[in-house]
Chain A
Amino acid sequence: MMKWEADDLPKYFEAKEYIDTVLVPLIPIQLSNEADSLKLANYQKTLQIIAREAERDFAGRMLLSPVYTYVQAASYQKEQERINQWIQLLFKEDFKHVFFLTFDVKWKKEEKGLDGTLLWLPGTVIENYQSVLTKKWINEQTSQLNELIKSFW
């Protein structure tokens, strides 16, 4: 229930002392090739579902940040600097735990330079979000992610 939304933010400011964790989804985009664009759009949707599910479990302690979006062909080093700037300006003061959530494996290489903990999940293109299999998969991803976050608390 702590999202970047006008309904939630008052709750955040009221309970600030209890909220020490922020989750920042990192989402790449591109439009140069149809197949890859489709894949990334699909990943984006899935990642947002997983982020929201995690947020649902940890609403009282975790803020779900607006998504950080970047062009896939851009320099990851530059993006990493900008991300760190975000963290410094937005979250550094009040949040003890900063997590980045992504399907983009390229962040693995930049992991050390990031001002927070990278949570990388292997992505999968989902064709039918309503299928039992998808729900199960998303459930599994979410519960693993939640276990991981809890282990840092």
Chain B
Amino acid sequence: MSEKKQQVSRRQFLNYTLTGVGGFMAASMLAPMVRFAIDPVLTASTAGEMQAVVDVSEITTDPQRFDWTVEQVDAWYTSDVTHSAWVYKNENDEIVPLSPTCTHLGCSVSWAGNEDYPDQFYCPCHDGRYQKDGTNVADTPPPAPLALYEYEVRDGTLYLGQPVPRGGV
């Protein structure tokens, strides 16, 4: 009697496991379809995770900070993560999208963040500074320039991908 009971429960256990796996697989197969359904723009992008950030017409020759939120799915929960970029157009009319993350220890820099250096990016944490193009100023803590985002422009909108680190000077 007790043996039978055990068998049953073992089968039940197997059943649960299989359902569990099946459910999991179904969910992961669903994911790409869902994304396609809600956001065809996203799937059309080659870089995969390019995010629409701002209308190109809003970009000026002065760096401006733009924020966007990405839903980040971790193994156990989903959370909204905000990213930022400092974006401007240089003399050649090229868009320069800089990562705000200081290459020293990762604080956020701001354009003209220190009134003594109105034409530089400034990091409030340990007085790191960068030129407008993101090059780190010698004798300040940052060891490398600010990273540049991968970007593309589609239908008048700026899309940003991953920040790409640049080597130190």
Contact = CB atoms under 8 A, between A and B. Distances in A.
A44 to B, nearest CB: 15
SS class, residues of chain A in contact with chain B: helix
B102 A60 contact: yes
Interface residues of A, number: 16
A57 B100 CA distance: 9
B131 interface: no
Nearest to A60: B105
Interface string B64-102: 000101000000000010100000000000000000001
B104 interface: yes
Contact of A58 (B67, B82, B125): B125
A149 to B, nearest CB: 9
Contact of A60 (B80, B82, B126): B126
Interface in A96-153: 129, 135, 139, 150, 153
A15 to B, nearest CB: 5
A135 B80 CA distance: 12
Given A11-B105, A58-B124, A60-B126, 15 more contacts: A15-B105, A18-B105, A18-B126, A57-B108, A58-B107, A59-B107, A59-B108, A60-B107, A60-B125, A61-B125, A61-B126, A129-B80, A139-B67, A150-B124, A153-B124
